[in-house]
Structure 1
Amino acid sequence: MTAFAGREDAARRNLLLLVLLRWLAVGGQLATILLVEFVLDIRLPLFPMLATLGGLVALNLLQLASVRFRSVSNGELLGALLIDVAALTVQLALSGGATNPFITLFLLQVVLGAVLLEAWSSWLLVAVTSAAFALLTVVHHPLPLQPGFVSHLSVAYKAGSWFSFVLAAVLVVAFVTRIARNLRERDAHLATMRQRATEQEHIVRIGLLASGAAHELGTPLATLSVALGDWRREAHDPALAAEVAEMEAEVARCKEILAGILFAAGEVTGEAPARTTLRRFVGGIVERWGRPELVALVDGLATDPPIVADRALAQTLINLLDNAIEAGASGVTLLLELVRDAAGEADILITARDDGRGFPPAFLETIGRPYQSSKERRGAGLGLFLAANVLRTLGGALEARNDPHGGALVTLRIPLAALALEERR
């Protein structure tokens, strides 16, 4: 919405610039007409020429009165330039046609079109001005010039002038539109890099807060673990002992999550990286998740490549499963695949399909941004944001869309080289 409003504002400002340029053109043409008529003593058809200037003045006043209250489209900019071309054609037709040295002003309209208009509109303006130039070589009002001003241009010279104009107009539009596109792509790239820098700064802040919280929670969790161990040894009721064992498992899971947070924050936890295989890595994450019975793991691997377990990626998969359940899914299907491109480079594809509510359309447009969530609770929306940045760090990407049959589809793509043993040594 902001980008669209920015384009509308730019178009409005461009039209105001055309209005300003038209005022200058009216003033310049009026001064030239008066100079030729009363100083050089060359008789001009004053009434139609001044009437044409009056039309341009009326157009300027109309546009100034309306442009502040509505949006301006590419079509309106094109129309304004075509009116300028038509007015210039009329003035030249009344004052010698192609023999008038001011015929080169057609090139100014072409340059303005190349800068302000969309590509197709610029090429249309080239065609119109070229046709007007050609028409003025045969259709024009001859001026009664004094002997010192008379010149005779051959047909070959006129044809060469027209060809030179067309060539210059085509080259201007071709290169100016290419340069403008490059500048737009550069600006878009810079905007993306600024957005990414902002997100990285946000991640650093989240990491500092999470790291501090992990340190603070470590002590009470350790105390709980010791107390639960004492209760388990003293519990004689089997039901109570089972409940204590379940609480111990949950405390151990909390400690594992905190260890993962510290690892992702770059802090040493005393645990060496685990060497495993891709199939075992994903299967272990599903088994350690709180409700593994809700996950159907579909193994599409032809081979099981060795990797080094990445804690950040593991936490990303856990967040993905948690999000699916929170979105109302009764189950999640994880499809594990290994695909290779034409160069032989392998990518890991992990696709999570659920039968929940799916993503709101507005959310899909802002996927991967912080605090973009359909959940109302405070702090929601960080799961996919962190997942997208974890994958970006590994050289991968996250894709999310809604399944036409219901639910959501989230695909994680990770280069195998980012997790392979030889890359981590």
Structure 2
Amino acid sequence: MKIFSSLQHQQLKSLFAFEALIQIGKLLLISLVAYVTKNQLIITSMMVIFFVELCCKTLLYRYALHQPHQFNLVVSIILALDCIILSSYLFFIGGATNALISFLLLPIAISAILLEKKQTWLICLLAIICYSLLMKFNLPFSFNASEHAHHSVGSSHFLAMWGTFTISALVLTVFVVSMAQKIQQQKQNIANYRQEQLRSEQIIAIGTASASAAHELATPLSTMQLVCDELELIDDEQERSEQLSLLQQQLARCQQILGQLRLDNEQVKLDKNAQVNAVTFFDTVFERWTIVRPDISITINNELNATLDMLSHPTLNSALMNLLDNAADASLENQINQITVKLSHDQRFITMDIIDQGPGVSPQLIQQLAQPKASNKQHGMGLGLFLANTSIERLHGQVSLTNGVTGAITSVTLPIAQGSAQ
């Protein structure tokens, strides 16, 4: 989803802004070391490390912009580099005895915010290893400049510890608050997105129910038209009475269809799950769909237990009809007006396999099933597929696409209701 990639993009920008500040701090550290020690070997080594780090992080940033799906990998490498580079600096200026050693906590804190648990533990382990090595391997460092001679080593160390703590506290506060604000904003965006998605589902469900009702009304309306035409020509009272009775039956059928449409719309607005008999539910779906698509021959292999119950949602009916439409349209691309549906179940789930006679689906569509624009059809039904998938996932179900022998297979998995007889 774009929302999550947007959040990661903002996190990446914040991280590199933070890294830019860290680089400035390292330049100041190198300048301070150069001012205090006058040791050209140490200064040169630290400058080489600085420029190597700068090049590596620049390349990583460019890579992250072009490969957003590698967000966790890039951030992990950056934080690991922070631990290693800081340890390299500390090696030249006293190792674990330097108060700056506390900065090794920053990569751990940032990884806890941005990365998963496993990656955070790896960063933590790396920081501990670096600290441990610096306790044994380091170059002694002391203030040799005459103007600093009056400072004791102890007071200098405590001052450095205070500075390290202050900078760490400020950096963490700014960074964490910034991330928290962005995450809160993204949560609001996600809530708005889900609300819009729900409205789209409801509109499609109402539209599907209305289209089905319109097709169902066509038969009784045509019959009534014929009856009215015949009534004008009938003189026999008994025959006229029979025709009027037929007319009343067709009017009752129209009222029944409109009543069902009203009920469907009310259920969509309620937005609640319900427990229904699986066989009855699927029979209703197929009956409505064949009315809407009389041009398609559908073969149904039903292996469901007659007493099996399942969870349903007001939008599930239209979701399944959309998937049947996709399969029918795919078959028509090969000039075949036939699809096959297989219904089966195990201890936990009902599986509905829709097999078409079309050209199959591309690997890109299979990978991008959750994207609203995913479609393999010339005129596009990606939104319908996306919303169908969303409606089914709401019931803890799943939609998957595979290529079969004759065409594509759309598999829908739906949970069996708890306590249902199997």
**TM-score, length of structure 1 as denominator length:** 0.59
The runs of 5 or more residues in structure 2 that have no matched partner are 66-73, 155-179, 234-251, 269-275
Does 2:91 match 1:89?
yes
CA contact (8 A) 2:330 2:356 kept: no
The question of whether the paired residues in 1 share the 8 Å contact of 2:402 and 2:410 is answered with yes
Partner of 2:323: 320
Aligned equivalent of 1:354, options 353, 356, 381: 356
Residue number in structure 2 paired with 1:304: 307
* Distance of aligned partners of 1:187 and 1:127 in 2 relative to their CA distance in 1, 3 Å threshold: farther
Deviation at 1:327, TM superposition (A): 0.8
SS in 2 for 1:265: helix
Residues 324 and 87 (structure 1 numbering): CA distance in 2 closer, same or farther, change over 3 Å? same
Q: Call closer, same or farther: CA 1:205–1:286 in 2, change over 3 Å.
A: closer
One-letter code aligned to 1:130: Y
Superposition map of 1:361-400 within 5 A: 361-367=363-369, 372-377=374-379, 380-381=381-382, 383-385=384-386, 387-388=388-389, 391=392, 395-400=395-400
What is the distance in 2 between the residues matched to 1:408 and 1:8? 36
* Alpha-carbon distance in structure 1 between the residues aligned to 2:23 and 2:96: 22
Query: How does 1:93-104 map onto structure 2 within 5 Å?
Result: 97-104=95-102
1:200 is aligned to 2:212: no
**Secondary structure class of the residue paired with 1:358:** coil
CA contact (8 A) 2:83 2:130 kept: no
Q: Is the aligned partner of 1:134 residue 2:132?
A: no
TM-score (norm 2): 0.59
Structure 2 CA distance, aligned partners of 1:389 and 1:257?
A: 28
Contact 2:343/2:353 (8 A) holds in 1: yes
Asked if the contact 1:218/1:255 (under 8 Å) is kept, the reply is no
Task: Report Cα offsets for 1:25-68 as digits up to 9, x if no partner.
Answer: 3324644774xx5xxxxxx4633343345446645775798777
CA separation of 1:80/1:303 partners in 2, compared to 1, >3 Å: closer, same or farther?
same
Using the TM superposition, give the Cα deviation of residue 407 of structure 1 relative to its aligned residue in structure 2, in angstroms: 1.6
Give CA deviations for 1:343-367 in whole Å, capped at 9, x if unaligned. Answer: xxxx543332333233344434454
**Is residue 413 of structure 1 aligned with residue 414 of structure 2?**
yes
Counterparts of 2:322 and 2:134 in 1: how far apart (Å)? 67
Figure out how many residues of one structure are paired with residues of the other and give that number: 348
1:46 matches 2:49: no
Query: What is the match of residue 347 of structure 2?
Result: 340
Matches within 5 A, 1:23-422: 23-28=24-29, 30-31=31-32, 34=35, 37=36, 44=37, 46-55=39-48, 58-59=51-52, 71=64, 73-74=74-75, 75-76=77-78, 78-92=80-94, 97-108=95-106, 110-111=108-109, 118-119=119-120, 122-123=123-124, 125-136=126-137, 140-141=139-140, 149=152, 193-206=191-204, 224-230=222-228, 261-266=261-266, 278-279=278-279, 282-283=282-283, 285-286=285-286, 289-290=290-291, 291=294, 294-305=297-308, 313-328=316-331, 330-341=337-348, 347-367=349-369, 372-377=374-379, 380-381=381-382, 383-385=384-386, 387-388=388-389, 391=392, 395-405=395-405, 406-416=407-417
Cα distance between partner residues in 2 of 1:411 and 1:282:
12
Q: 1: CA distance between counterparts of 2:312 and 2:26?
A: 71
Deviation sequence 1:279-330 (CA, Å, 0-9, x none): 4553465466155983332232344348999986555544433321111165
1:327 alignment partner AA: A
**Post-superposition CA distance 1:128-181 (Å, at most 9, x none):** 413432323xx5337599899589xxxxxxxxxxxxxxxxxxxxxxxxxxxxxx
More off after superposition, 44-53 vs 299-308: 299-308
CA RMSD of aligned residues (A): 5.4
Q: In structure 1, how many angstroms separate the alpha carbons of the residues matched to 2:134 and 2:347?
A: 58
CA shift, 1:122, in A, is 0.9
Q: 1:362 to 1:264 in 2, by over 3 A?
A: farther
Q: Percent identity?
A: 18
Does structure 2 conserve the Cα–Cα contact (< 8 Å) formed by 1:400 and 1:411? yes
Q: What corresponds to 1:20 in structure 2?
A: 21
Cα pair distance change 1:312/1:230, threshold 3 Å: farther
| Displacement after TM superposition at 1:411 (Å) | 1.3
Q: Which has the higher contact order (CA 8 A, sep 6+)?
A: 2
Q: Conserved in 1, the CA contact under 8 Å of 2:302 and 2:342?
A: yes
Structure 1 residue ranges without an equivalent (≥5): 38-43, 152-181, 236-251, 269-275, 342-346, 421-425
